[in-house]
Structure 1
Amino acid sequence: MEPQKINKGDRNKIYFLVIVIAALIGTNAYLFFKDRKQSERFVTVSAEKDKLRLEVEKIEVELDKVNALNLDLNDKLVEEQKLARVKIEELKASLEKAQITQVELDKANKQINELKTFVKSYNEQIIQLQKDNLFLKNSRDSLQNTLKNISNKASNLENENSSLNAKVKTAAVLKLQSAEIIAFRTKSSGKKVEVTRSSTAEKLSVRFTVIPNEIAEKGHHNIYLRVFDPAGNLLADEGNRFEADGQEMQYSHSIFINYNNDNSTYVIDWANPKPFIKGIYTVILYADGNTMGKAQVELR
């Protein structure tokens, strides 16, 4: 049997089918690799966007840490942080877009690197600010301690001075060295005669000396007398008042003496506004607001 011959027309059809099949296979292969490449590209872009978002969040966290320190930032640092946060919001918005080009990704990456550099410099400034604040605090505390010590020393000195002044004032007080009282009457001739009987006594004469005192003020000193009768009654006028030993008192009589620390003897005569009675009369002397001493005399 002889092989069947294929005519020219059939041969051309076969060639055409082969070409079509080859074209289909090529097209499918092209589309397959194209889809695969686009899929890989999508995955790469998505991963890069996530990475950039994370970097932006890290930068924002660093700025939040600064605010948590509650530092008193100067105007320059405040303004720089505001600008950085504006840039962060812009980047966030850019990275949230569904479609983003490589150019946009590269731009975002560049801006993030700039922000990283800024945050590093910003943190260095904050650290320096903390050091400066600590130095100022330590200096202030040291100054306060110094002022407190000075104040304490001044207060101690003031107390010491007050105490010393009080001691000097106490030491400068005039005190009686000796004192005696006699009763007397005056004759018609003017001569004073000492008496011991209450019925004949007219006045009391107080004769006294002062203990030598180098630091006592020289010159005039007002001497006050308080005279008590045998019954303990003060013999004084209501209007005669002075202050001594921290309280106001009535006095019977007062005079000035000229004190010169020279062992002088001073005499004060006092007339009783009432008749003398039998018993012991007591006289207390005061000078410069302090008690000098006392003396007594007994009348029969």
Structure 2
Amino acid sequence: MTETSEKQEKSNKVLIAILTLSILANVGLMIMLFDEKGKTEQLTGENVEITTEKNELELELNDMLLQYDSLSSDNDTLNAQLLSERARVEEMIQKVKSGNWTIYKLKKETESLRKIMKGFVHTIDSLNTANIELMAENKNIKGELGKERDKSNLLESEKSKLAEKVKIGEKLQAVFIESYGQKVKNNNIHKRTERAKAVEKIKTCITVGENDLAKAGKKMVYVRIIGPSGKVLTLSEDKANMFEFDGIRGLYSVKKEINYENKEIDVCLYWDVKTSVISGKYIVYAYADNHEVGITEFILD
């Protein structure tokens, strides 16, 4: 082998070595590039997944805010707790946005808030159900009370009506009443007359009817004789000749006491004419137990 051949052979070996090293270097570089690409794709995928999970958490937390806004109660303490938990949810949303917490910790805290909110929902539903039941019960009770009140009012009304009937039933009534003028003859015989100039007495006879409801005992019977002039015939217009009847006080003409024993009783009263009477219509009222028992009239010529 010549010296030139030896040099050529050495040169080829060096070239082959350089090519081999270059190939190995390129292969190593390619392997490194593929490895970095895989890592980058993995990190990108993880970031996308984390971003997606954070978005889902934020949506869930915003949904919880809306649910808190829809919750209400008549209980002030419970309302204060609702506001406090709602504030915690808002704070959690800010933590999700800031990215300072790990996704695991965010999920765990969000789940805790979700459980608390579900507890409030259950509590408020239970309270609302109880309130509805109480309202229905109160309505029934009010209805029953209303019925009982109506019954009580009806009984009271019937009692009042019965008492009024008894009161009316207790009143004495004249089953007969008659009044007329009389002339007194020399032999003290009284004769009926319709001539005003001849009248010396006015006789009024009353038959008080039977009444088992009335109180028995001594009673004063009063007679009021109203002349044609509209005035009461009376001895004098003073308190001594006044009595109470039908809620007022007025003059009477004549009075007489009877002993009433719940049976019919006849009584006659006489008005003595002091001077004279005038012609016209006379109206005569009879009273007992402070109320009117009968009325009649007569005319004198």
TM-score class, shorter-chain normalisation, is: 0.7 to 0.9
RMSD over equivalenced CA pairs, Å: 3.3
Residue 200 of structure 1 and its aligned partner are, at CA, apart by 4.3
Structure number with the higher helix fraction is: 2
Residue in structure 1 matched with residue 190 of structure 2 by the alignment = 194
Question: 1:1-300 counterparts in 2 under 5 A?
Answer: 4-7=8-11, 10=15, 13-67=18-72, 71-73=73-75, 75=77, 77-97=78-98, 99-100=99-100, 104-181=102-179, 183-184=181-182, 193-195=189-191, 196=193, 197-229=195-227, 231=228, 233-236=230-233, 237=237, 240=242, 242-244=244-246, 250-253=250-253, 255=255, 256-272=257-273, 275-278=276-279, 281-288=282-289, 290-297=291-298, 299=300
Residue 28 of structure 1 and its aligned partner are, at CA, apart by 2.1
* Alpha-carbon distance in structure 2 between the residues aligned to 1:21 and 1:298: 157
> Any gaps of 5 or more consecutive residues in structure 1?
none
- Asked if 1 retains the 8 angstrom alpha-carbon contact of 2:254 and 2:271, the reply is no
Residue 88 of structure 1 and its aligned partner are, at CA, apart by 0.9
* Alpha-carbon distance in structure 2 between the residues aligned to 1:260 and 1:224: 18
Residue 172 of structure 1 and its aligned partner are, at CA, apart by 2.1
* Alpha-carbon distance in structure 2 between the residues aligned to 1:137 and 1:39: 59
Residue type of the partner of 1:233? G
Number of aligned residue pairs: 288
- Asked if 2 retains the 8 angstrom alpha-carbon contact of 1:222 and 1:254, the reply is no
Residue 137 of structure 1 and its aligned partner are, at CA, apart by 0.5
Look up the SS of the partner of 1:96 in the other structure.
Answer: helix
* Alpha-carbon distance in structure 2 between the residues aligned to 1:119 and 1:192: 114
CA shift in 2, pair 1:80/1:182, >3 Å: closer
* Alpha-carbon distance in structure 2 between the residues aligned to 1:235 and 1:79: 85
Residue type of the partner of 2:71? V
Residue type of the partner of 2:287? Y
Residue 51 of structure 1 and its aligned partner are, at CA, apart by 1.3
- Asked if 2 retains the 8 angstrom alpha-carbon contact of 1:182 and 1:194, the reply is no
Residue 62 of structure 1 and its aligned partner are, at CA, apart by 2.5
* Alpha-carbon distance in structure 1 between the residues aligned to 2:249 and 2:177: 22
- Asked if 2 retains the 8 angstrom alpha-carbon contact of 1:280 and 1:298, the reply is yes
